Amino acid sequence: MSAMLHTIELIGVLAFACSGLIEARRKRMDWVGVFTVAFIAAFGGGTLRDLLLDRRPLFWVENQEYPIILFILTLIAVPMLRRLRQIMTDKVLDWADAIGLGLFSVNGTSMAMEAGMPVFVCVMMGVITGIFGGVLRDIICNEIPMVFRRSQLYATCAFAGCWIYLAGHYVELPEVVSLLAGILSTFILRILAIRFDWKLPA
């Protein structure tokens, strides 16, 4: 179980990192910029959550292998980014990103609950964990954050997923079932939103 969660988490981290990598390259950054933006896209949301909840060690300090993997990945990926883009099509990226969104959001909510936060704050912490990596990535790249522009539902999926997780938690389902329900519903909502072009009203 734990190994499975770890694998899912790594997929999420790598998906978020890829979004940073691609964005940084589009802005013609050099290797340092690419690594930093990928790093912030992958770990920014979790770091902000840890700062707000006063959790230490930080997520990427506790799992030192994550930044190291990311470091090596960037070393390898930058020279062959064009080829990488043939494997990592937009569809693959969207799916991996949706997995990351679900996992990080629901995980953030669960950590906020453990820290004894009130319920609405727990959901906000979850959404922050899920989306702020991307927000910080876009701020560094000098763009208005993608999630705030009128595009297909993103934060809203995380918001719904976190409530579903909490609902499961309050009716005392086994924790793993609640977690999976939250992650899966975020994931499915996000995929549907992309598929059917669901947007928030103007």
DSSP SS3 for 144: coil
Smallest gap from residue 131 Cβ to a copy of itself (A): 8
User: Based on CB atoms, which residue is closest to a copy of itself, 79 or 175?
Assistant: 79
- 166 touches a copy of itself by CB under 8 A: no
Question: Of 176 and 200, which CB lies nearer to a copy of itself in the complex structure?
Answer: 200
Cβ-based nearer residue to a copy of itself, 1 or 55: 55
Residue 184 region, left (φ>0) first, then alpha (ψ -120 to 50), else beta? alpha
Q: Which DSSP state fits 192?
A: H
Of 17, 41, 147, 164, the residue at the interface with a copy of itself (CB under 8 A) is: 147
Q: Give 121-125 contacts, CB < 8 A, sequence gap 24+.
A: 122/162, 122/166, 123/159, 123/162, 123/163, 123/166, 125/49, 125/52, 125/53
Tell me which residues touch a copy of itself (CB under 8 A). 24, 27-33, 36-37, 47, 51-52, 54, 56-58, 60-61, 64, 67-68, 71, 79, 117-118, 120-121, 124, 135, 139-145, 147-151, 154-156, 199-202
